[in-house]
Amino acid sequence: MKASPTSGTVRRGVALTVASFVLACPLAARAEPDPALAMFAGAITETAGFVAGAALLGVGQGDKELGRAGWMVMQSAFTLAPLTAHGAVGEWKRGLAFSAMPAACLAGTTAMFVYEPNAVDYSNLWEQRILWVLFGAGLTTSVIGVVDAMLVNTRGIKVAPSVTARSAGLMVGGVF
């Protein structure tokens, strides 16, 4: 039985993501958190997921299942990146908080694919806009989470997600 052309790409992407997570975990017990380690853990998670997802999209041109899989791999990496970055400096709860918005975008994309399975290649303009807004919001909030992990030694500046009954956003405060 011959392996599909994407099986190696997917395995490499998963291996890179797992390796960055494993490398980040044991070092979180250090006395002084290392912002460079947080940046590396978050960046490698973002990059590995993006590369693996884009490879699935590129190889599966016209294949709606591979297209959906590629899209979901990328957005899953957006959800994991703030968690791995904050985990690298021992701030697991803060990482979970910053992973919430990319996870919500991932859930929205999943709902869109359930509603319209052909949404990646053959959807109307309105559906494409929804997908791109979810993608952009997930990527942006994921990067904000990784940057926040890099500010671990300067916690005079606080960046935190804020959700109320009437609004959602980011709060920035402290000594600049």
Computed over every residue of the chain, the mean pLDDT equals 81
Q: At residue 77, does pLDDT exceed 90?
A: yes
Token representation of residue 156: 């005079």
Q: Over range 123-145, report the average pLDDT.
A: 89
Q: Which CA distances in Å does 105 have to 30, 37, 127? A: 33, 26, 14
Provide the pLDDT for residue 66: 83
The domain spans of the chain are 7-174
Q: What is the pLDDT of residues 144-171, one digit of tens each?
A: 999 999 887 766 666 777 778 888 887 7
Say how many C-beta atoms besides its own lie within 10 A of residue 79's C-beta. Answer: 24
Question: Is the whole model's pTM more than 0.75, yes or no?
Answer: no
84-99 pLDDT, tens digit each: 999 999 889 999 999 9
pLDDT tens, position by position, 2-20: 555 556 666 666 666 665 5
Q: Using pLDDT thresholds of 50, 70 and 90, give the confidence band for residue 30.
A: very low
pLDDT at residue 64 greater than cutoff 70: yes
| Token output for 90 | 């021992």
